Amino acid sequence: MITGELLNIEPLELQFSFELKKQASCSLQLSNKTENYVAFKVKTTNPKKYCVRPNTGVVSPRSTCDVVVTMQAQKEAPADLQCKDKFLLQSVIAPHGVTVKDITPEMFSKEAGHVVEECKLKVVYVSPQPPSPVPEGEEEGGSPRADNGHLSGVESLAACDSQDRSTEAKALIAKLTEEKKAAIQQNNKLRQELELLKREASKGKGGVSLMLVMLVGLIGIILGYILKKA
């Protein structure tokens, strides 16, 4: 902060984030320390390069005023980002109730006997800050905040749908396992009955053998159907 008799000026330097072909801005805050109205004017060594809003103004007693300085887009970068441009802020005590329209160049003339307070400000170029890395799980350009209803809703529905599919798959696998187990048990039972029929048929007559063949064929068809279903 630069402290004068009339105004406190902050910051000490005009810092611009320098990027080729891009405008850059910074601001000054002027604080009136007195009980008087203070008029000010901002000058620069390179007026075509900068735009100052407001370049003249009035700061009421014990109040503040913000001044925005904009650097026009530059086509070339200076060596090592060094800048020789300077600004001069002049301030004087003004009549009570004065407005911007009442400010004249003569008010800042020392030759006219006015006490003019002057403050020189230098210009500093700084390299632009690199973009912050996007945290894992967030989309480029911003994080999925809680107030982003659409994005949060899609993520929640997708998670629920995935969980439902996993539960259904587990239930289907369990069902198929039980059916396969039951089919194997039924198959073993039929084989045991087939062996029993074979032993009985070997003791009976030829007619029984024909019946046994038909029964074996029927059992084979049933086994094939059960195994195919499993």
Q: How many CB atoms lie within 10 A of CB 14?
A: 22
pLDDT number for residue 193: 78
Q: Is pLDDT larger for residue 230 or for residue 74?
A: 74
**Residue 99 exposed, middle or buried by CB count within 10 Å (0-12, 13-18, 19+):** exposed
CA dihedral of 91, 92, 93, 96, whole degrees rounded to 10? -80
Question: What are the tokens at 61?
Answer: 């007693």
Q: Is pLDDT larger for residue 221 or for residue 65?
A: 65
Confidence grade of residue 151 (pLDDT, cut at 50, 70, 90): very low
pLDDT average, residue stretch 121-150:
64
pLDDT number for residue 164: 55
In this predicted structure, the answer to whether residue 84 has a pLDDT above a threshold of 50 is yes
| Pick from 6, 89, 88, 2: nearest CA to 40 | 89
Among 86-95, 175-184, 198-207, whose mean pLDDT is lowest? 198-207
* CATH match of 2-126 with 2.30.30.230: no
Q: Map out the domains of the chain as residue ranges.
A: 2-126, 152-229
pLDDT number for residue 2: 64
**pTM for this model (two decimals):** 0.55
